[in-house]
Amino acid sequence: MDAVNIENKPESKSPTLALLALTIGAFAIGMTEFIIMGLLPEVAKNLQVSIPSAGLLITGYALGVAIGAPIITVATHRMKRKQLLLFLMILFISGNALAALAPNYGVLMVARIVAALTHGSFFGVGSVIAAGLVPKGKRAGAIAMMFAGLTLANILGVPIGIFIGQAFGWRSTFWAITILGLIALIGIAVLVPKVESASSNLKQELSVLRKPTVYIALLMTTFGNGGLFTVFTYISPILTDITKFPVNSVSYILVLFGIGITLGNIIGGKLADRKLMPSLLGILVVLAIVLAVFSITDQHKVPALITIFVLGMAAFGIIPGLQLHMLNTAKEAPTLASTLNVAAFNLGNAFGAYIGGLVIDLQFWGGLTAVPWVASIVTGVGILFTLWGVQQQKKRTRP
């Protein structure tokens, strides 16, 4: 992580309030990333496109993060961190306002990509600033507080956004996210102190791209995370068409999923601190099994709810381990490595959404009913890359 120096300006009266501003920004970004999943039927009907086509809006966002994150990180490596945060939030607000006004599918796709460009850099830069706001012994807690916005987006933001979209139209949800972005922009401008990043060695950062182990780690992240989004992108039609839940109950079910991801994130972090690779492998295996089981339990309401809760735990239980493994693999370039891993997560989102849509379009194995099975196979590929990563790690530590 970049070293930071925080100037003692009058504007930095309260680190807690500054962290709150960052958390609101993270909440808004998390909400805009995941909201389309719960509004696929409404968006598809309004724009007169198929469900798989609407699902590509998730793919477009994820690709925007995957491509934009490293480019923006490299292009702005000498920019003052607070200025960069303000620029990113303005870009985020513009993307979501455009989404709310989008007259057709093409414009909505462009809007999603514009908003996505902010994602990776915001979390990377926000982590640096959050760490600099507090004493050294409290930095992990400060970073965790900012990232809590992403978790809360899943527990509260997405269900509320779905409720708003189903009650007042999907465009109203994007207006709500736009307002949240404005609040975050004002909060960052007023409450976050000026932060100077240490002069970074761009050549050293880029040198990490010559390490084969970095690419193995990125493939672990892409496929390990891709299985979740193969199925979760189409969770709304699965719950309504297969499980036969009422449309208006989807937002409540996603609250259950959100509670699962919160617990999974905490448990996964603790396990990764103890035994990184064994715990990562174990959780990935559990995730693959849960996805396969969902192809059976999604036909019954109570078992489906239990499976969705466990799915949330397993899916987000792997995230701390994957992030820590990447940082361990590329210690000499933590900023770029962290950003690339965010990009890999979102590449997995895009790949998963595309594969799930392809299964539905081609009616492969029955179409929608086969999506959980295919998701399990995608996660299985992630397990294979993780086993490869374990072998490479053993070679590095062998005397």
Per-position pLDDT tens, the chain of length 399: 444 444 434 344 578 888 899 999 999 999 998 888 788 889 999 999 998 888 889 888 888 888 888 888 778 777 787 888 999 999 999 999 999 999 999 999 999 999 999 888 888 778 768 767 877 656 655 666 777 787 788 778 888 998 899 899 999 999 999 999 999 999 999 998 876 554 456 676 677 778 888 899 999 999 998 999 899 888 889 999 999 999 888 878 888 888 898 888 778 877 877 788 899 999 999 999 999 999 999 999 999 999 999 999 998 888 878 877 887 787 777 667 777 887 888 788 888 988 998 999 888 777 899 999 999 999 999 999 999 988 877 776 655
CA–CA dist 13, 330 (Å, integer): 36
Among 147, 175, 200, where does a domain finish?
A: 200
Same-domain pairing of 195 and 216 = no
Give, to the nearest 10 degrees, the angle between helix 170-191 and helix 40-47: 120
Same domain? 157 vs 137: yes
83 and 152 assigned to the same domain: yes
What is the number of domains present in the chain? 2
- What does residue 349 show for φ and ψ, rounded to 5 degrees? -60, -45
Are 233 and 324 in the same domain?
A: yes
CATH classification of the domain holding 332: 1.20.1250.20
DSSP string, 217-239: HHHHHHHHHHHHHHHHTTHHHII
Q: What is the pLDDT of residue 201?
A: 64
The per-residue b/e assignment along 102-119, b for 16 or more CB within 10 angstroms, e otherwise, is beebeebbbbbbbbbbbb
Same domain (yes/no): 70, 82:
yes
Tell me the pTM.
0.74
- Domain end, chosen from 200, 233, 248, is at 200
CA angle 190, 192, 194 (to 5 degrees): 105
Say whether both 233 and 269 belong to one domain: yes
- Is 4 a member of any domain? no
Q: In the prediction, which pLDDT does 337 show?
A: 74
User: Are the CB atoms for 194 and 350 separated by under 8 Å?
Assistant: no
* Same-domain status, 150 and 56: yes
- Reduced to 3 states (helix: H, G, I; strand: E, B; else coil), residue 198 is coil
**Strands annotated E in the chain:** 4-6, 195-197
Distance (Å, whole) CA 326 – CA 338? 7
Q: In terms of domains, do 193 and 297 share one?
A: no
Q: Residue 15: give the domain boundaries.
A: 9-200
- What local confidence, expressed as pLDDT, does residue 249 receive? 87
> Are 193 and 207 part of one and the same domain?
no
Token couple for 374: 């295919």
pLDDT of 9 reads 42
Phi, psi of 11 (to 5 degrees): -70, -20
212 and 350 co-located in one domain = yes
Q: Are 268 and 321 in contact (CB under 8 A)?
A: yes
pLDDT number for residue 1: 41
Cα–Cα distance measured from residue 32 to residue 48, given in angstroms and rounded to the nearest whole number? 21
Q: Let me know if residue 167 belongs to a domain.
A: yes
- The span from the CA of 396 to the CA of 217, in Å, is 14
Of 159, 174, 200, which residue constitutes the final position of a domain? Answer: 200
